[in-house]
Chains A and B, each alone.
Chain A
Amino acid sequence: MKKPLLEFTNKGIYCAAANVYLDPWKPVDKAIITHGHSDHSRWGHKQYITHHTNIPIIKHRLGDINVSGRAYGEIFSINNVKFSFHPAGHIVGSSQIRVEHKGEVWVFTGDYKIEDDSISVPFEPVQCHTFITECTFGLPAFKWIPQQEVMSDINEWWAQNQSEGKTSVLFGYSLGKAQRLIQHLDPSIGKIYTHGAVENMNEVIRTIVDLPTTTLITNQTKKEELSGNIIIAPPSVHGGTWIKKMVPYVTASASGWMAFRGARRRRAIDKGFVLSDHCDWEGLLSAIRETGASKIISTHGYTDIFSRYLREIGYDARTEKTQYEGELSEIETEKGSEVIK
């Protein structure tokens, strides 16, 4: 039997013909990287290839690495295998990877969403034979409402808290979600303050796109000046001492998981806004349709359920185990996600 163009190995997704890995989770010689989240761009590879807007992001996280950049649609060949990056719409600098060899085309999505968030380059469907997709939210219970509506709810919530003399604390992952929120907050309501982890990322992202003005919270920041304003912070600070000095404050989280009441209640967050950088159920299905692919491989999320449904509607679909986490890292704190085996 012919070797598949891409294989799932214990180091990551491997292209034997080119001897490269896509988003590998163990150190390798040559890695092609979809985006800057830590489960996709890991430390320790000898050579990184990624979209050029992703370079400052992964350098910020991984330090002085050997990395080269490519533009969207630019084809680069390795051992006669053609690779190219295409917008994934997930976060700034995120890509899908198209792989072509001997007339066969595979696309690996990394993480993606089809809604235009007007901060990252919007998702573009790419025709292929085999589509390797995430399905973080691959259940019919996930249906996103348009960003504009969610953001107007968030702004309304902020204004309401302000009228009650409270500080709004909005949790979002430092890379991606935080900047998306900041971009769409209404600056006429008040000032946007940030946690250090978010502000560090903002500085990096500002080298790529413009962001509204934000103010870093430091030891010198007085409690009184925060009152009525909004703070963007990573989810991990919830329940810790950092947040204590913001009293009186109201907390909210912006994540796809907030679609479930239980998920919000478990985290003891006052308010949940359903805003995700991944596709919802319909989004996944329409993305798959638009690729024209007949073979679908699900990598992370509700993979078994999603693949079973795809098989029922006529696709040749299967699941492969990977170490990608999807949006989980957006809401779980570091210590919570430790694996015991």
Chain B
Amino acid sequence: MKRFAHLIKTLDSTNKTNTKVAALASYFENAPDEDKVWTIAILSHRRPPRPVNTTLLRTWASELANIPLWLFEESYHIVGDLAETIALVIPTSTEHSEKSLTQFLQEMIALKKQSEDQKQYYLHENWKTLNYYERFVFTKLITGGFRIGVSQKLMTKALSKAVNIDEDILAYKLMGNWDPNTIPFHDLVIQEKATDFLSKPYPFYLAYAIEDSISDLGNVQDWYVEHKWDGIRAQVIVRENEIFVWSRGEELVTDKYPEFQEFLHVLPNGTVLDGEILPFPDGKIGTFNDLQTRIGRKTVSKALLKKTPVVLKAYDLLEWEGEDIRNHPFSERRALLEDLYQNINHLEPVEGFMNKTPLLLSQKISFTSWDDVAKERERSREVSSEGLMLKRKDAPYLVGRKKGNWWKWKVDPLTIDAVLTYAMRGHGRRSNLFTDYTFGLWNKDKTELVTFAKAYSGLTDAEFKKIDTFIKANTLERFGPVRSVTAELVFEIAFEGIAISKRHKSGIATRFPRILRWRQDKKIDEANTLEDLKALIPNTSSE
């Protein structure tokens, strides 16, 4: 654990990418193999399930620190990180722990099944024997979410340096389903085995948002244009009569979408599709809000399947007849995909399955002028898309976010002026600052502000600082970490989509709300009403 804690401390003590890569590479060169596997797992979000819930962690930590629970909670709200708070309030002893990272993780896996007393004993013993930073890392491993400015990409880069294997190949090896508790380092990183790749998806190619004028992209005829769908990016893999569905977060989600079992009957072995999982209630594309009812459910009820079925809107073909065709030009891959789609639609429905394959093709549109592309973009909301994707016809399918061949060109967000009503302290680098805000819109007669959205991003540090000062001086009431504040500040809130929702007090759900700017020029009676918001709900045309 000392070596791992030291690594985390080093990573946490620098803002420089090169220093981080060097520290990780040196760790990967020197650490024991089993610790390396766990480190890769942790930095790629493959932690063991949380063995103890946070309520118990708080209670036991405040006991050991000999402070009342309310004081622990207050400290937590200010520190902004649970593991850090626990590490800070518990006194450091002179004892030492020589256990390895792997040992700790194996103990945590075993801990999940143990009694509450055993859990409490285990935590107290380890909190007491670890030094401050080890205690922080240990508790982080339990609570999860190691956000220390190390992306999976950065970790892969460092690993690539240490083992001298190409970064893209490593990214591919590290994808998918592997168990850090059983897989040896050699098997995971070094060895090449064909069967390992049965379920493996390809690293997703991601687009950057377009920065300059689109006419800078050159000849419009070199590009295919598609709508940008607002669902879950996914790869559907059919190999050796098995189907695997991977989300972009590298999560295997096959079981969440039983509709896709149908693909086994229509897609030949050795096929990998890249596309978007979209909700499809009443035979047309639904809102992201509809999809929310499916995300997070491992088992899906028949009623839900019927109410909110999903489809895959396919836009690319990455593997065909068992061959990785990512290096082929997009126009070629697209042609193969379209042939495949045509063939499927001519097949008869299979007995006992949905009578229609849940597969749609993301239409590619060719244009003769950029002006027409711009006009098409204006139509996005009508067809339930969030804008356009521009893909170069002759481009290969690359790994990760790369500039040049793919661009996303989203529609301008919807905006509304709302009033700041509640605030909470932020986390991480915003700890101890009030940066998490709730916004309200006026009811019909402008007598009451109705909460409609929360937003955390979009302001500069200097603005956050000013608003933090305002909140501290204008607090009306405190509800634990939340403060209600005098209605006085108006903000322009931007969001990507909007839909009717029964789960929201306002009756409306907004997609990805964020602060566009602080309207210091506006008084609160100039803020918008809930009716204004409702008027933004588009009339969508079905496909």
Contacts and interface: CB of A to CB of B under 8 A. Distances in A.
A265 B67 CA distance: 28
A266 B470 contact: no
Contacts of A336: 461-462, 465
Interface stretch (A48-56, A254-262, A286-294): A254-262
Nearest to A312: B68
B106 interface: no
A308 B69 CA distance: 13
A252 to B, nearest CB: 9
B84 A339 contact: no
A339 B469 contact: yes
A141 B79 contact: yes
A305 B75 CA distance: 9
A140 B89 contact: yes
A263 B490 CA distance: 27
A96 B431 CA distance: 32
Contacts of B16: 270
Interface in A222-275: 259-263, 265-266, 268-272
Interface stretch (B7-15, B275-283, B302-310, B374-382): B7-15
A340 interface: yes
Nearest to B88: A141
B471 to A, nearest CB: 10
A339 B91 contact: no
A278 to B, nearest CB: 16
Given A141-B89, A336-B465, A270 B84 contact: no
B466 A340 contact: yes
Contacts of B231: none
Nearest to A282: B91
B432 A263 contact: yes
A339 B472 CA distance: 11
A335 B84 contact: no
Given A140-B65, A336-B465, A340-B470, A265 B78 contact: no
Contacts of B71: 140, 305, 309
Nearest to B466: A340
Q: Is the interface of B mostly helix, strand, loop or mixed?
A: helix
Interface in B61-91: 65, 67-68, 70-72, 74-75, 78-81, 84-85, 88-89, 91
Interface string A322-339: 000000000010011111
B429 A262 contact: yes
Contact of A139 (B74, B427, B467, B474): B74
Interface residues of A, number: 30
A273 to B, nearest CB: 11
A268 B15 contact: yes
A262 B470 contact: no
Interface string B12-30: 1111100000000000000
B14 A270 contact: yes
Given A260-B79, A305-B74, A270 B85 contact: no
A142 B85 CA distance: 10
Contacts of B67: 140
A261 B470 contact: no
B430 interface: yes
Contact of B85 (A141, A269, A272): A141
Contact of A140 (B75, B149, B428): B75
B72 to A, nearest CB: 8
Contacts of A340: 466-467, 469-470
Given A139-B75, A270-B15, A262 B88 contact: no
A191 interface: no
Contacts of B68: 309, 312
Nearest to A271: B13
Contacts of A271: 13-14
B194 interface: no
Given A262-B427, A262-B432, A338 B461 contact: no
B110 interface: no
B526 to A, nearest CB: 18
A307 to B, nearest CB: 12
Contact of B91 (A143, A259, A270, A332): A143
- Identify the interface centre among A261, A308, A338: most chain B CB within 10 Å of its CB: A261
A261 B78 CA distance: 12
B462 to A, nearest CB: 6
A260 B91 contact: no
Interface string A122-151: 000000000000000001111100000000
A43 interface: no
Nearest to A336: B465
B535 interface: no
A259 B462 contact: no
Nearest to A332: B465
A315 interface: no
A141 B78 contact: yes
20 contacts: A141-B85, A141-B88, A141-B89, A259-B88, A260-B79, A261-B431, A262-B429, A263-B432, A265-B428, A266-B430, A266-B431, A266-B433, A270-B16, A271-B14, A305-B71, A336-B465, A337-B465, A337-B469, A340-B469, A341-B469
Which 8 A-B residue pairs are closest in the complex by CB-CB distance?
A262-B431, A265-B429, A141-B88, A266-B429, A141-B75, A140-B89, A336-B465, A305-B74
Interface of B: 12-16, 65, 67-68, 70-72, 74-75, 78-81, 84-85, 88-89, 91, 149, 427-433, 461-462, 465-467, 469-470, 473-474
Interface of A: 139-143, 259-263, 265-266, 268-272, 302, 305, 308-309, 312, 332, 335-341
Given A140-B72, A143-B88, A262-B431, 7 more contacts: A141-B78, A265-B428, A270-B13, A271-B13, A332-B465, A338-B466, A339-B473
